[in-house]
Amino acid sequence: KYVLFPCSAVSSTGFLEHLPSLFKESNVQGRYALRWAVQAVAYAEVSSKDNSRDAAKMAVQLYGKALAALSESLGRQGKPPDDHDLMTVVILDIFEVRYTKIRYE
């Protein structure tokens, strides 16, 4: 839903078009934040469409895991923030803006 590829060479670039490329290195140790952030948004989307409390609860749990993993990644001594960290922040922002009103209780 959030990744739109350009139709031709003259089209404007899609929103979050580089997100899929960040998943090509899928088994890099310690890179969990972005995966959990994307899953949190996906579950939140399901929750908002289906009014599912279970999906909402899972979304919030994954959001918390993504925040913790991002904090760990950004807190590593000598490691500059990378594209995964930046995209995680963007995806978490989408979650916060669009889905902070979901009910999970």
**pLDDT at residue 103, rounded to an integer:** 53
- Burial 76-101, CB ≥16 within 10 A → b, else e: eeeeeeeebbebbbebbebbeeebee
Do 1 and 45 touch, CB atoms closer than 8 A? Answer: yes
Query: In this predicted structure, what is the pLDDT of residue 7?
Result: 56
Q: What is the pTM of this model?
A: 0.80
And the tokens for 89? Answer: 């922040």
Q: How far apart are CA 38 and CA 9, in angstroms?
A: 28
CA separation for the pair 97, 61 (Å, rounded): 17
Q: Identify the residue whose tokens are 């995966």.
A: 35
Q: By the 8 A CB rule, do 95 and 45 touch?
A: no
pLDDT digits (tens, 9 = 90+) for 6-39: 556 655 566 677 777 777 765 566 678 999 999 9
